[in-house]
A = this chain, B = another copy of it.
Amino acid sequence: MFKVSRKSEYALIAVQHLARAQPDRVVSVADLAGQTQVPSDVLAKVLQGLKRAGVVRAVKGAGGGYGLARAPSDIRFLDVVQPFEDTLAVVSCQMPSHDCERSETCSLRDPMAVLNAFVLRQFDGLTMDLFVAPHHWLISGGRSAAPANDTSLARRLRQGEAAALR
């Protein structure tokens, strides 16, 4: 459980890199692949997915490329990951197409629903500005403007949990 797909990781890396570029500039896939060491074919697919999700914008033709559609602090972690994960739920019955036939008699369904909602809520407050380097927030508690919908997870990340790195 927990683990994100490879494409999701690539998506996170891509957004991370695009966030470092100038806001009005676009970067080509080949360029981005060179920086990130991600296979360019895969990266191309990932960026197409991110565009469909409205996370990045694309400029076609020569000199074109990709850029973020909005500020990193306005892009949620789940926005980036969603297009590449068929399941964002802890159990099948909590997905839009709840395809578990045992759903009615299952005594695990209700507690799992609570658990599911909690996990999703935690991640909901997690924005991509926490992932752009340098991770000043990770070593010293570099503070940025705290958003309104703060959660425990995001707060913890922002304060920098150095001890968590063992």
Footprint of B on A, CB under 8 Å? 1-5, 8-9, 12-13, 16-17, 37, 81, 85, 87-92, 102, 105-108, 110-111, 113-119, 121-122, 126, 130-131, 133, 135, 138, 152-153, 156-157, 160-161, 164-166
Residue numbers in B under 8 Å from A90 (CB-CB): 2-4
Main secondary structure of the interface of A (DSSP, over half): helix
Residue numbers in B under 8 Å from A89 (CB-CB): 2-3
Measured in the bound complex, the distance between the Cα atoms of B1 and A5 in whole Å is 7
Residue numbers in B under 8 Å from A117 (CB-CB): 161, 164-166
Interface centre among A9, A119, A138 (most CB of B within 10 A): A9
Residue numbers in B under 8 Å from A9 (CB-CB): 91, 108
> Nearest Cβ in chain B — how far from A42, in angstroms?
13
Given contacts A16-B108, A108-B9, A108-B16, A1 and B81 within 8 Å (CB-CB): yes
CB closest chain-B residue, reference A134: B107
Measured in the bound complex, the distance between the Cα atoms of B118 and A166 in whole Å is 12
Contact B2 A119 (CB under 8 A): yes
Nearest 5 A/B pairs, CB to CB: A117-B164, A3-B87, A1-B4, A111-B131, A152-B152
CB closest chain-B residue, reference A82: B1
Contact B4 A164 (CB under 8 A): no
29 examples of A-B residue contacts, CB within 8 angstroms:
A1-B3, A1-B4, A1-B8, A1-B87, A1-B88, A2-B87, A2-B88, A2-B90, A2-B116, A3-B87, A3-B89, A3-B92, A4-B91, A9-B91, A13-B107, A13-B108, A16-B107, A37-B105, A107-B133, A110-B135, A111-B131, A113-B164, A114-B156, A114-B161, A114-B164, A115-B126, A117-B165, A118-B164, A152-B152
